[in-house]
Structure 1
Amino acid sequence: MHNPSKMHYGAAKRVLSDWSGSEEDMKSTSGYAFSFGSGAFSWALVKQHSVALSTAEAEYVSAAEATSQAIWLRFVLEDFGEE
């Protein structure tokens, strides 16, 4: 928690990006975490809304969701005077 390395981020990526992890509906699980300074302030781990046909598609959907959240967080931080 206090000094994460690239190995830790790699392990988190494997946990947060799971292609067809649910055997019931074959939907992927995606997640993201945003840090500011020394700590994470926004994170999510959610089941995707659609069924991905490949790992690349599952990662694309996950990246799109994270990008959408990043854009929204950027506007919120600008309201607080942070860039």
Structure 2
Amino acid sequence: MHSETGQGSLEWWMAGAPFPSPTSAQLAEAFKWSEVRQVTKTATVRLFSNSYCVDASLVRGRGIGGQPLALRRILIAVS
């Protein structure tokens, strides 16, 4: 029993229902990851023992993000 409300744990929890469900876009965003890596002067970036070729305009880019199970495509942020 909850000392202030006098409700049991489940009863107290369910009093806050209905609980919002995230959209698929929110779930995808929640499971994205990011790493800090530098794009080399030869326009490559190393990530998880792999080397990715990137556009030369991204040299000096530092932020990398994407889906952890789909590394066919990575996102690079220039900072």
Higher helix share: 1
Larger Rg belongs to: 2
